[in-house]
Structures are given as C-alpha cells and as structure tokens.
Amino acid sequence: MFKHSVELDVSKCTGCTTCIRHCPTEAIRIREGRAVINDDRCIDCGECIRVCPNKAKKAMCSKFEHYTHYKWKIALPAPALYGQFDGLDDVDAVLQGLIDIGFDDVFEVASAAELVTEYTRLYLKTEGIKKPVISSACPAVVRLISLRYPYLRDNIMPILPPIEIAAMLARKKAKEEHPEFDDGDIGIFFISPCAAKVSYIRNGFGDYKSKIDVVVSLKDIYFMLMGVMKNETSPKVSSKAGMIGIAWASSGGEASAILNDKYLAADGIENINKVLDAIENGNIPQLEFVELNACPGGCVGGVMTIENPYIARTRLQSVRRYLPVSLNRLPSDMHYIPESVVCSSLPTYTPISRLSESFSESMRMMAEIQRIRETLPGIDCGACGSPSCRAFAEDIVRGTASLDKCCVLVNSPKTETEETQ
Amino acid sequence: MSESLTFHYDVDGEDFTSAGQASVQVKKNLRRLGIPPEIIRQVSIAMYEGEINMVIHAGGGKADVIVSEDKIEIILEDHGPGIADVELAMQEGYSTAPDSVRSLGFGAGMGLPNMKRYMDEMTIDSVVGKGTTIKMAVYLS
C-alpha cells in the first residue's frame, strides 16, 4: 500500500469542492460533507494543499525536535530553502543557522544536484537509451508517469535523485569523520519543500529504499531559522554548491545545466500532461532531455515553502551571482556512472483508471457511463461530490455514488413538464 | 460479446491550438477500458495525425473511434478539398501544407505514412472537391 503524505484535518474541511476540481488525477471526492482521497490515484502533487481555502489539507512531516535520540544529526537542505530569505547574499548564513538550531552538520542537496548534472551529461551519451530522457528528480512526475504514461517509463533517467545521493554522501562523510558513531546514531534529515518528496521517502522508488531517516518541513525549519539568523554570528560552515546546484531549485535549472540546447523544462501538472502526451505521440522530435516539476516554478513552488515561487527564484539569482558555476565535478577521467547512484527499479505500471479487470465488463461499464452522462446537466458543478459530470457518471457505475446526488437533476422542472405533456 | 462502443469527436477546424484534444480524450477512454499501453499509443498517434490533417487541410471534420472485442477502428471524415493523388500523399515527405502551417512545425509529410505505420488496416476514400474518409483499424489480440 502506497503511503501518502497529504493529510486532511476533518475539523477544518467544509466539503467546499475546491480541491476536487483542482486535483489533476481526479483522486478526491466529497463524501458525507468531507474530502476523501483515493490513495491509488493520488500522486502527492500537493495541488489540493495549495488550493484549499480552509487550510484543511496539509503534508505530514516529522518535527525536528522529536528526534533527540540521534547523536549526530545532519541537515539536508533543499536549495529552495535559500530562496526564502529576504536580502540573503550568502548561503553560509543559512547553513550556520541550521547548526545553530541544533543540527550537527549540513550536507547541501545542491552539491549532490551538481553531481547528478554530471551523471546526466554522461548518461545522455550512453548508446541505445530511450530519448528524450526524463528527469527522475520530481517524485510526483515519476508517479504520474507510472500511473498514466506506461510507455514513457523507460525514458525516466535511471539515476537516483539529488536527495538520495546527498543522503549517501552525508552518511559516508559522518562515518569517516566520526568513527565513534554507529549507523543508528546518525540521523539524516531532509528539509523538504514539498509533499511528494515526503511520500517518496516513505515509499521508496520501486524496490529502492530511501536513505533519508527523517523528513522535516521547510516551513517549520524556516521559522526556527528566523529566530537564530538574526544573531548574525559569523558562519563557521561554508557552502559547497555553485550556480548549477542552486539553480535546481527552480524550473529549468536542472535542464539548462546539461550543456545541450535540446531540452525542455515544464512545470505545473497541467503543462506536464500536455508535454507527456506530446512526447508519447512523438510530436517533439530531437529532444534530448526533459525536466518536469509538478509545482509551479519548480521546487521553489512547493507547498511547504513560504515565499512566492517567482520571488524566491529572483532571490536565488542574486545568491548565485558571484558563485562559481559548479563546485562538484567528477574526476575528468571518469567516464562511467557508478553503480551506487543507479536506480534501475521503476515503479510498476498500475492502470488505475481501468474500470474492470475484465475487458467485456469494462465495455459494459463504459457504455453505461456514456448513457448516464448524457442525462446529466454537464455543468461540472461538483455539488454531487465528484469533480465533473463524467466522473460522477463513472462513480455511479462503479457503485460509489448515486444519481439522486445530482442536485441539478433533482431540482429540475423537467419532470413536471413531462407530466403535463 | 458482440457489443461495440463508439466515441465520437468533432474536430474544430477553426482552432489550430485545440488540435490533438480528441487524441488525448481517446487515450483516457482506452485506459479506462484497460487496453494495453502500446495499442493506446498507436491509436493516439494515428488519431493525432488525422486530427492535424483535418485542421490543416479540411477545415475540421469528425472522428469516430469504435472499440469492439477484436479491434479498434478509427473513422475520420471531412468535407475538405479531397486528395488528388492518394498514392503520392502516402509518400513520406510529400506535403501540400501551406508555409504558414510548416512554420509551426507541421506539414512535414509524415502524417499519412505515420497513420499507416501504426495501424493494421487503413483505407482512404477521397473525392476531390467533396472530402475524405479514412478508415483505420488496429487488432486487439
């Protein structure tokens, strides 16, 4: 069973239907006046969290202060964190802040991202791979592909995302510097900008188990940092990421770093669906690499960030300005991708939208859906609890809704006129 | 099971940007029926090429996708100018698309050949000045 990270606060949900109409996979229904998420369909994109007017949806995260049993706590900040602070001109201030709030060390995801950029350049030169290569960094996109675009599964780059490589390197460094600690003493904390990464870390990637121990919300850490960063203690830690690593925080940063102009970067699920449909139909020839981010603007648009993604992006531009292009390069004689960063197990294709396992039963159900749909008003009001009249017809045929929930039909004067005729 | 299901789509000839919508809708419906991914892709590509053709050359038309136990048929019908030389039109790279369309990246002369490549059957019925009907099918087995 897939463990999701999107959680509903029942006391706040008013059953207002906003989320059902925004969910890109039609995973939500309103039942008994409350939102109910279908776990099989949810891709943890966080769209419902973003649009909920009552703040009833949130991403489940752990609290940093609950994990005191680790003797050596390492923070893995996503580069999106650096874009949250007004007037920040040195990333070191943020890293020092992480130490000041109680972490023992910091390993930047941006550093690992620069290595992934290097691996990507190598991977693109591999013969016989399916092009365009699709980035594996956004877990919501990977899950979307596994549910809806089985034909494109082999296009996903079989290299671990930056957070995993950061976790591996951080643990290795800790063990080298502190041989006195056992594995269980070392805690790797990822500071996440989004819900999808929380789910990904809980569930793994196909057969791959995440190397991250705890996921904390970027928002929570931000408020803790605000308390200590005012002190302006001179930083004792220094950033090991360049322009490329930090650029990964916003859409286009990862793709533009591959040194090849045949790339495409898209953000927002609706745009991503259009791009994936086009790739599947072969409409975008000669494309080498595709970067897709479920959140608008890229990771800076995650639901656990504070700042507007476009403002955060602008701030990152000033942070990046005086940095070297990249601080994490592979040795120049390294022409292969090490086995330790390869992730060959893809999530299996799950045909979630299939009506029935039997083809003839699916055909019968589809005919019934078409018949019911024609009787429905077609205004997609959502009052029945389904996102559209089409989805409502499907819910009726699947036996999870009943026609009398359509308030337009129930209140329609049509029956009267029929009687008088 | 002798029943078949028909999905009907009107292809709007006025709006270039909406071309491809029917192909996306078909894909969703075939997924609901549990059709294998490779066949869904074949149907989707053939539909997409057909839609584009109808928009570029014929000012729109209609598309019916008929799913039955053993095959999926696609019938594309338009009342456009018709195809003068079907054999020539089937050649890769041959196109009568205007420059305005080519500048958008369409009109490479691959539409009809692509449709044939992905389908198991394809017949073109065309009368100059009257219109074109293309019938295609892919087998389910």
Residue ranges per structural domain of chain A: 1-60, 64-341, 359-421
pLDDT band for position A347 (cuts 50, 70, 90): confident
* Alpha carbons A260 and A251: distance in angstroms, whole number: 16
Question: Is the pLDDT at B1 greater than 60, yes or no?
Answer: no
Interface contact A353, partner B, CB < 8 A? yes
- In the chain, the amino acid numbered A307 is E
Residues in B closer than 8 angstroms to A363, CB to CB, are: 1, 3, 5, 33, 67
Interface contact B5, partner A, CB < 8 A? yes
The string of pLDDT tens digits covering residues A102-119 is 999 999 999 999 999 999
pLDDT band for position A351 (cuts 50, 70, 90): confident
Total domain count for chain B? 1
Put simply, the answer to whether A277 touches B24 (Cβ < 8 Å) is: yes
Instruction: Give me the domain span that covers residue B119.
Output: 5-139
Q: Comparing C-alpha atoms, which of A417, A411, A421 is closest to residue A384?
A: A411
Distance from CA of B73 to the nearest CA of A (A): 15
Interface contact B20, partner A, CB < 8 A? yes
CB A115 within 8 A of CB A161: no
Put simply, the answer to whether A360 touches B1 (Cβ < 8 Å) is: yes
Q: Give CA separation, A79 vs A10, A193, A223, A324, in Å.
A: 33, 9, 17, 16
pLDDT at A418: 53
Residues in B closer than 8 angstroms to A359, CB to CB, are: 33-34, 69
Put simply, the answer to whether A280 touches B48 (Cβ < 8 Å) is: no
Strand positions, DSSP E, A304-368: none
Determine which of A146, A363, A374, A397 to mutate to test the interface with B (most B C-beta atoms within 10 Å). Answer: A363
pTM of the entire structure?
0.90
Distance from CA of B96 to the nearest CA of A (A): 19
CB A82 within 8 A of CB A311: no
Question: Is the pLDDT at A207 greater than 90, yes or no?
Answer: no
Residues in B closer than 8 angstroms to A152, CB to CB, are: none
Put simply, the answer to whether A355 touches B48 (Cβ < 8 Å) is: no
Question: Is the pLDDT at A350 greater than 90, yes or no?
Answer: no
CB B117 within 8 A of CB B97: no
Tokens 């745009």 belong to A271
Q: Which three-class secondary structure state does DSSP give residue A42?
A: coil
Tell me the CATH number for domain A359-421. 1.10.15.40
Distance from CA of A148 to the nearest CA of B (A): 8
Question: Is the pLDDT at A398 greater than 90, yes or no?
Answer: yes
Domain A1-60 has CATH 3.60.15.10: no
Question: Mean pLDDT throughout A31-55?
Answer: 93
Put simply, the answer to whether A281 touches B38 (Cβ < 8 Å) is: no
Put simply, the answer to whether B34 touches A356 (Cβ < 8 Å) is: yes
Buried b (16+ CB within 10 A) or exposed e, A191-207: bbbbbbbbbbbbbebee
Nearest chain A residue (CA) to B27: A277
pLDDT at B131: 94
Put simply, the answer to whether A366 touches B33 (Cβ < 8 Å) is: yes
Question: Is the pLDDT at A26 greater than 90, yes or no?
Answer: yes
Interface of B with A in 56-85 (CB under 8 A): 67, 69
Q: Is B85 exposed, middle or buried (0-12, 13-18, 19+ CB in 10 A)?
A: exposed
pLDDT above 90 as % of chain A: 78
pLDDT at B2: 58
Nearest chain B residue (CA) to A283: B45
Put simply, the answer to whether B32 touches A281 (Cβ < 8 Å) is: no
Q: Look at A100-104, A190-194, A357-361, B106-110 and tell me which has the smallest mean pLDDT.
A: B106-110
Put simply, the answer to whether A281 touches B23 (Cβ < 8 Å) is: yes
pLDDT at B135: 97
Q: Which three-class secondary structure state does DSSP give residue A40?
A: coil
* Alpha carbons A10 and B84: distance in angstroms, whole number: 65
pLDDT at B95: 87
pLDDT at A414: 60
Residue-averaged pLDDT of chain B: 90
Interface contact A348, partner B, CB < 8 A? no
Write the DSSP assignment of B82-125 as a string of letters: --S-HHHHTSTT-----HHHHTTT--SS-HHHHHHHH-SEEEEE
Residues in A closer than 8 angstroms to B45, CB to CB, are: 281-282
Residue B29, token pair as written in the block = 């419906």
Question: Is the pLDDT at A1 greater than 70, yes or no?
Answer: no
Q: Look at A56-70, A213-227, B35-49, B98-112 and tell me which has the smallest mean pLDDT.
A: B98-112
Q: Look at A20-24, A282-286, A387-391 and tell me which has the smallest mean pLDDT.
A: A282-286
Interface contact B41, partner A, CB < 8 A? yes
Interhelix angle for A195-203 vs A139-148, to 10°?
70
- Bigger pLDDT: A334 vs A120: A120
Put simply, the answer to whether A367 touches B5 (Cβ < 8 Å) is: yes
Interface contact A284, partner B, CB < 8 A? no
CATH of the domain at B88: 3.30.565.10
| Positive or negative torsion for Cα A325, A330, A331, A336 | negative
